[in-house]
Structure 1
Amino acid sequence: MVNLKPPIINTFHFILIFVLILGSGIQHSLQNEFISNYSNSLLSHVPRLLSPKTTVLDLSLNNITGIQIEDFKFLPKLRVLRLSHNRIQYLNISVFKFNKDLEFLDLSHNNLWNISCYLLKNLIHLDLSFNEFESLPICEEFKNLTQLDFLGLSAKRIQKSDLLPVSHLNLSNILLDLERFYGEKDKLESLPVLDTKKLQIIFPPNRALFMQLNISVNNLRSLEITNINLNNDKCSFFTDFLSKVIHNSKSLNLTLCHIEDTWKCFVEILQFLWHKPVEYLYIYNLTLVEEISYEPFTYDETLLKELKIELLTLKVYLFTQTNIYDIFSDMNIKMLTISGTRMVHMPCPSKPSPFHYLNFANNLFPDSIFPDCENLSLLQTLILQKNKLKHLSKIADMTEKMKSLKHLDLSQNSISYDEEKGNCNWPESLLVLNLSSNELTDSVFRCLPPSVTVLDLYRNKIKGIPKNISNLETLQELNIAFNFLVDLPGCSTFSSLSVLIIKHNSVSHPSAHFFNSCQNIKSLQAEDNPFLCTCELREFSKNMATLSSRVVSGWPHSYKCAFPDDYKGTLLKDFHMSPLSCNIVLLIITIVLVVLVLVIVTAFFCIYFDLPWYLRMIFQWTQTRHRARNIPLEELEKTVQFHAFISYSELDSPWVKQELLPNLKQEEIRICLHERNFVPGKSIVENIINCIEKSHKSIFVLSPNFIQSEWCHYELYFAHHKLFHECSDNLILILLEPIPQYNIPPKYHKLKALMARRTYLEWPKEKSKQALFWANIRAAFNMKLNLVEEANNIEMI
């Protein structure tokens, strides 16, 4: 069953489309319309409690078997009612008597066999087609439907009287569903002349019942006939039928759907229509049977502007193909469409052709179509979509002589381009080139017409655009979606580019240079790319945000981060990185400034809090503790009687006796002093050597007074000699007061060497530092040391 619905008049067309799109919701508002949609809701009756505000009600695609006056009584504003595709058997139009504003009523595709009439004066659209009526469901009241614009009818038989009530109405569209029409054999019913701009007639499939209709129409502009069976020599009957229908027409659009006939009959129909007032002829689903042989065709002057044939089925398997091709190639019309026919060739016209438009989509044409053709010089549009084309250079050569060609569609083929197999010579007039859904790679940019303004390379295998392309300066629109590009092409190659479609590619880190070079871009579609959200993307995202939504399609919801994982799914407009982390120069400057500030702050604190002194003292304390632990205890216990021997100048004795000795005494450190422990009768040098030999450590209190003392020099010399002789570290130098190097006499070269290595402890004047000073002194001694007892010489401090 074929359902050919007419266009809905005025605003109802848009309202109804909106209703169908809504799905199975309940109530929706659209400007001044209140829409209740119950389509496809498994209803068996009209729902109750509908809003009185309802203006559009869709109850199609349900199981409703009957309607009553109560169903619509409380819908005074109802204007559009759709009840198609239900199971309603009987209709009393008076159920709508409370719906005075009802304008659109669709009851098609039900089981209606009878109706009772009632006048609905405002009715504009009434569809009763595809039902079970025995005769045409036309009432006397229909003659007063002065607003009626569309009328859909169905019947199993037709009588002249059936159409009389509407024959005077000036309608825009009449649909006659005669799928169940059986008529009466050998009876030709003469019907009244109708007045309509468009007539749709649907005959029963596989039966030629048009022979039983005698119908004529005034002011007919469009005729659509479905289910035409012309087997068994019925061709002349059909042409007679057409002749009567279009007798009063001056210009006509004719559509013939689902035709089954012979090639001979088909040519006869074309020849018949060639001399009729038909401007556009559309043939859909043509089946050719029996045989295909040569049929002559006369190309006289004709009003026909376009012939369109879609979907051809051949039930003839042995024939000469030129019998078909030659008729079409030499037609003297401007537009020809032959698609879905599985044709494999089309010869060049035998003489200069008036063709402006040729559409051979969805066939089997190879690259050899129109070989070396010079007779298509007026051709402006050529569509070769969905064929078997493979070589771009051959196609270019084929079109080179089409001097007026502006639009070429080569989409959905298997086209590729190999630079080694030839150059591309295109016509200079070509403006629009569609190469979408092919096998093209980057090399295609070396085989493009210089004059092209619109280029479609959708869904190919392009990974990049060569930088040295210089012949596409006129290109204004480029569609390169669904390829493998990793960056946006700059406009240095396409100086006139205003529309760029590059969505669904592999663009991860687009260059911000794109916006600098493409100042003329008015439309950019770059959504659904795997953007890598790093510093490089910040400038691109910023530029995108500054453009209006009219320029950038899908912004911001279709522009998301794909990498790294931390930002995956984040909208580009919400992606932010600090300027510091993205600017290397700024980052280096910042680091240098921070380090410089730290150095200055550290230097300040070092100076202010004397930090170097603390560090040096802690280092010396650590070294001293380490050395004290490394000397075997049993070695020391053999000869050592004192923990330390103190050497100092008599001028420094107040500090020694008031500061040094009291602190050492607290730690039970045994000290050897010259005034107390020197043995009478021995020389001073011998006593000095003896005291140093019997002491674990030697403490020297250094000051300007120290270097003036001769005996202090001897004591230092012998202690330093013991240091190197025994490989021990027994010297503790205390710098009581600073001693400038230039004040130290040359004979104190050992003291200079020791002080140069800074192996001394400085006596701090500040009380806060003195605790660390005494800790360093204590760390130098091994308190577990068992000293040798000599009663004559030993005395605890």
Structure 2
Amino acid sequence: MTLKITMPGEQSGSTFSQLRLFLCFLMYCWVLADPVCGYFLKNCTIRGNLSDPSNMKVLCEKRNLEVVPKDIPRKVSVLNVAMNNISKIGKLDFKGLSNLKILNMSRNQISSVDDGSLSHLEALQELGLAHNRLTILSDHLFQGLANLSLLHLDNNLITTISSSSFQPLSSLKTVNLTKNNLHNMKEVQPIVQLPHLQELYIGSNRFTSFQSQEISNTSIELRLLDLSRNPLGIFRITADVLPYLEVLDIAYCGQLGHMEWDVLDRSFLSNVKRLNLSGIEMSLERMGMVLQTVNSSLVHLRLYDISEERVKALTDIACHIPTLSLLRLHHNNISVLSKEFLQSCKQLTEMDVCDNNINQLSELLFRSMEQLSTLKLGHNRLSSMPKATRNLPTLKILDLSFNIIHELGCPDFANLTGLTQLFLFHNQISNLPECVFQDLKELRILKLGSNKILTLNDAFMSGLPKLEYLSMSYNKLSSISKGDFKGLASLKTLLLFDNQIASLEDGAFEGLVNLTELRLQSNKITQTDIRNTVLTGLPLLRTLDISCNYITYVNDDKLDPPPFSHLTSLENLQIHSQRHKGLCHLPINFLEGLKSLLAFKAGNLNIKDLHPNTFIHTPRLWYLDVSKNEFTALTPKLFHPTPRLNRMYLSKARLQSLDFLVGANLSRVTFLQVSKNDITVVNETVFRSLPALTYLDMQDNPFTCGCSDAWFVQWMESDNQTQIVGAGEFTCNYPADLKDTKLLDVELQFCIVHLGLYYYISTTCLVLLTLIASFAYHFLKWQVIYGYYLFLAFLYDTKQRNKLTPHGCQYDAFISYNAHDEPWVLRELLPELEGEQGWKLCLHHRDFQPGKPIIDNIMDGIYGSRKTICVISHRYLESEWCSREIQVASFRLFDEQKDVLILVFLEEIPTHQLSPYHRMRKLVKRRTYLSWPRAGEQTGVFWQQLRLALETKDGSAEENPILSGVQAL
């Protein structure tokens, strides 16, 4: 075989192209290896969809934070860092949060805000800085907040407002500066002159006067002004600067002992609809002047904490205002409401006298109020239903809650034919007469909770045809009999929780054909009461709560019949927290019939396992809570019938592994809570089986901090879909030397094989290897080829040495030559050595076995001969097979330490031409060799030396220096 040697100058352009390609490829691989910044918050949680910036909320309240977190997602729209220990807002704290619309930093310790620190929040609409320690509002504090509409600065220590601090807030509508240390009304002048300001709260400061010239010389668009709880000595308006004002609150003002009212023209406050004069320190005459000023527009009046005598006088004045419709008289220590008290209030539609000490009402008190629709008498001391509330056909809402009413009589609601809402909760009622609600034909809402009712006494058999909401919670009912609610055909919500119900008769809820919500929690109901004959007749029921009762089952055997078989519309079932022993077992067919069930809450039931067929009847199940049980482990088959499951609560369930989620058909689960279990290691395949997971809570688990959890740490820090709640607080439980160490603080990088980095290293090595091979082939072609064959020769040599025995040889010499030198071998060498000297030679064209692999013939020939004669010429050096032959022979020479190799040069070959053949050059340097005489020279000496070389024994080359004296090339 003839091989062409490529010169170094050839293909240089191709080489540089390969180099450029290699560099570009390295850069690409580096990009691949660079890890993606995943979604991970150490101290906060997210509400909403991570992929929907307009709905993303980050909640960091109550985390003991001292600085604003640095890992807030850039696309967040709502950020809540309230109730922490942050003392300063730095210039870069909110950099990059250009989508933020709502920022709540209330209830911190903020006393300093760097200028321009809020300028990054171009989209901000609401800012909460209430309950902090700010003292000065500087010039550049609100720079860049052109879209801000709501600003909370209440409950600070603000004493100074810079004249230009509010100038950037061109969209501001509401400012709350309540409870600060402001003294001078001129400081709020820049605020009230904002073009869109509508509401200003500056109550509980230190203003001693309010004068229109101090705030503006032109009309402003202010709709609400709260000046309450300031030590105002005077309220003066000398110009029409508040033409749009609708709400004025000056409650509890005049704390210096008195307050003057100076409004020269009644038209200056002609649009005020709501007025609060509660607790004001002002003479009765001046208060009358205030009411006269708003005589043409007042609708709602609030008079709290005023003595009984004054409130009667003011009520009489107020009720002569024709536009007044709502009067609130809380906390005035009124005990008796006489007929004269409200005789001038004929036009009122709502009367609110809650939170007094009223124990007596004049029977004709409200009879003159022909438009009265709402009457609130709650939080008083009425011991019986007042006759004053009867015969009011226009009344729609009656509130008598939080009194001490002991009993109800049939005439108590006489002629209240228009009543739609009746509130009687928190009284002492123990009995419901059958006829008590007979006139309430329009009643929609009835609240009788927190009384002492023992029995229903057929009160709901008739009389309430339009009732939709009934609350009987927190009473003392012990049983529900058949037909107790028969007359409530329109009822949608029935609340019976926190009674003492221990018996439910068959047909207990008969007639409730429109009921959608039934709550029976916290009673004494047992499993015998939960049967299909009790829950019959509820075709539209969607929510059933029977939690916190005494339901228990001794095994999970089938129930005959199943308890909920008739509730085909039920969507929400709650049975959690059964008392005494707990539920213990969940029967196999407990949920049979609930084909519409979406939510099942079965936590804290002392259940140790769930049968694989538990949910086969609930294919639409979306929400599952089985936390606070003792499962230890669950089976994947359990969840096969619930492919729509989205939210799972499994906290405090003593789970030791999450492997049951693998193969559980939970591809739609987005919310998983498995906190406070016994999980030590998290399998990577678990979360691969939850492709839609966006919220994960694994707090308070005893993690093993080692390489088994290394991938979990890497996943938490890099995954940009799933939020891991409280990951920064995950602690190690094992090994002992890492106990209580934060999982994220443990050095686990050496355990992790970063896939991107692995690809990068692998591809880089492959490219480097390719380039090295290309360079080697380009510049070191023959050295590479020679090395390749040298390696093959080594393998063949090792193989043959194991096969051939050292005893006896078939030939005296193996002749290695190139086909081009065959004429010399046949005409010169063969006749001399075989014919004249009698040696037996091995020639490949004559002695190789037909059909046998060439390399095997070569090996057999060399190892089957005492000597190997290499006939070397330029052609020989370029021959593939000749190269192999000399390599095998040289291995035998050097590795077996035998004098088996004889070199015969037919041509003069310079040493530098032997350099590509490392082994050949090594042989020439270490040994003498024979050269065929030039033309005209005698050959006798050559043949004599060759004969001597063949006669030497197979000892080491050093023991047989037979060719000494022959000149080397």
TM-superposed CA distance for 1:389, in Å, is: 1.0
Aligned residues of 1:346 and 1:370 also touching (Cα < 8 A): no
Give the AA of the match of 1:481.
S
Using structure 2 for the length normalisation, give the TM-score: 0.47
CA distance in 1, matches of 2:74, 2:328: 39
1:3-402 equivalences in 2 (<5 Å): 21=61, 24-25=64-65, 26-27=68-69, 29=72, 32-33=75-76, 39-43=82-86, 45-47=88-90, 49-54=92-97, 55=100, 57-64=103-110, 69=115, 72=118, 79-92=125-138, 95-118=141-164, 119=167, 120-134=169-183, 136=185, 139-142=188-191, 144-154=193-203, 156-161=207-212, 165=216, 168-170=219-221, 173-178=224-229, 180=231, 181-182=253-254, 185=258, 187-190=260-263, 193=268, 201=276, 203-204=278-279, 211=287, 214=290, 223=300, 225=302, 227-238=304-315, 240=317, 254=326, 256=328, 258-264=330-336, 275-276=347-348, 278=349, 286-288=355-357, 292=360, 294=362, 296-300=364-368, 302-312=370-380, 314=381, 321=383, 325-331=386-392, 332-347=394-409, 348-351=412-415, 353-368=417-432, 372-392=436-456, 394=457, 396-397=458-459, 400-402=462-464
**Residue in structure 1 matching 2:593, options 514, 517, 538:** 517
Residues 620-674 of structure 1: CA distance to partner in whole angstroms, max 9, x if unpaired?
xxxxxxxxxxxxxxxxxxxxxxxxxxxxxxxxxxxxxxxxxxxxxxxxxxxxxxx
Shift in CA distance, 110/553, structure 1 to aligned 2, threshold 3 Å: same
1:570-609 equivalences in 2 (<5 Å): 574=660
Q: What is the aligned partner in structure 1 of residue 539 from structure 2?
A: 474
CA distance in 2, matches of 1:242, 1:117: 44
Worse-matched range after superposition: 345-354 or 262-271: 262-271
Shift in CA distance, 468/571, structure 1 to aligned 2, threshold 3 Å: farther
**Residue in structure 2 matching 1:429, options 475, 478, 489:** 489
Aligned residues of 1:113 and 1:133 also touching (Cα < 8 A): yes
Q: What is the aligned partner in structure 1 of residue 614 from structure 2?
A: 540
TM-superposed CA distance for 1:457, in Å, is: 0.8
CA distance in 1, matches of 2:103, 2:575: 43
Aligned residues of 1:491 and 1:514 also touching (Cα < 8 A): yes
SS in 2 for 1:307: strand
Worse-matched range after superposition: 64-73 or 233-242: 64-73
Shift in CA distance, 527/355, structure 1 to aligned 2, threshold 3 Å: same
SS in 1 for 2:200: strand
Aligned residues of 2:507 and 2:535 also touching (Cα < 8 A): no
**Residue in structure 2 matching 1:458, options 521, 529, 552:** 521
Aligned residues of 1:175 and 1:199 also touching (Cα < 8 A): no
SS in 1 for 2:459: helix
SS in 2 for 1:260: coil
CA distance in 2, matches of 1:508, 1:335: 46
CA distance in 2, matches of 1:572, 1:67: 47
Aligned residues of 1:177 and 1:203 also touching (Cα < 8 A): no
CA distance in 2, matches of 1:77, 1:378: 49
CA distance in 2, matches of 1:470, 1:86: 55
Aligned residues of 2:403 and 2:426 also touching (Cα < 8 A): yes
Aligned residues of 1:556 and 1:573 also touching (Cα < 8 A): no
**Residue in structure 1 matching 2:466, options 379, 399, 404:** 404
CA distance in 1, matches of 2:604, 2:200: 48
Q: CA RMSD of the aligned region, Å?
A: 4.7
Aligned residues of 2:329 and 2:353 also touching (Cα < 8 A): yes
Give the AA of the match of 2:200.
L
CA distance in 2, matches of 1:575, 1:33: 31
1:553-632 equivalences in 2 (<5 Å): 553-554=623-624, 561=631, 569=655, 574=660
TM-superposed CA distance for 1:463, in Å, is: 0.9
Aligned residues of 1:65 and 1:87 also touching (Cα < 8 A): yes
CA distance in 2, matches of 1:388, 1:157: 52
- Larger-gyration structure (1/2): 1
CA distance in 2, matches of 1:127, 1:192: 27
Shift in CA distance, 76/456, structure 1 to aligned 2, threshold 3 Å: closer
CA distance in 1, matches of 2:534, 2:459: 21
TM-superposed CA distance for 1:151, in Å, is: 1.9
Aligned residues of 2:61 and 2:83 also touching (Cα < 8 A): no
TM-superposed CA distance for 1:367, in Å, is: 1.3
Aligned residues of 1:217 and 1:248 also touching (Cα < 8 A): no
SS in 2 for 1:228: coil
CA distance in 2, matches of 1:376, 1:248: 30
What residue ranges of structure 1 are gaps of 5+ in the alignment?
1-13, 315-319, 578-797
Residues 326-375 of structure 1: CA distance to partner in whole angstroms, max 9, x if unpaired?
22344331122222223334442233532121111122222146855532
Give the helix-richer structure, 1 or 2.
1
Aligned residues of 1:524 and 1:553 also touching (Cα < 8 A): yes
Using structure 1 for the length normalisation, give the TM-score: 0.56
Aligned residues of 1:345 and 1:369 also touching (Cα < 8 A): no
Shift in CA distance, 484/260, structure 1 to aligned 2, threshold 3 Å: same
TM-superposed CA distance for 1:261, in Å, is: 3.6
Q: How many residues align?
A: 538
Aligned residues of 1:224 and 1:256 also touching (Cα < 8 A): yes
**Residue in structure 1 matching 2:575, options 485, 493, 502:** 502
Residues 450-507 of structure 1: CA distance to partner in whole angstroms, max 9, x if unpaired?
2252322111111122454485243513221222223695333545545433233344
CA distance in 1, matches of 2:344, 2:453: 35
CA distance in 2, matches of 1:196, 1:327: 34
Aligned residues of 1:427 and 1:449 also touching (Cα < 8 A): no
SS in 1 for 2:379: strand
Identity %: 17
Aligned residues of 1:108 and 1:129 also touching (Cα < 8 A): yes
TM-superposed CA distance for 1:400, in Å, is: 3.1
SS in 2 for 1:188: strand
Aligned residues of 2:462 and 2:487 also touching (Cα < 8 A): yes
Shift in CA distance, 498/341, structure 1 to aligned 2, threshold 3 Å: same
Worse-matched range after superposition: 184-193 or 209-218: 209-218
TM-superposed CA distance for 1:520, in Å, is: 4.0
Q: What is the aligned partner in structure 1 of residue 499 from structure 2?
A: 438
TM-superposed CA distance for 1:106, in Å, is: 1.4
Shift in CA distance, 195/413, structure 1 to aligned 2, threshold 3 Å: farther
Query: Which structure would you say has the larger RCO, counting Cα contacts within 8 Å and 6 or more residues apart?
Result: 2
CA distance in 1, matches of 2:661, 2:56: 43
Aligned residues of 2:337 and 2:362 also touching (Cα < 8 A): no
CA distance in 2, matches of 1:407, 1:346: 20
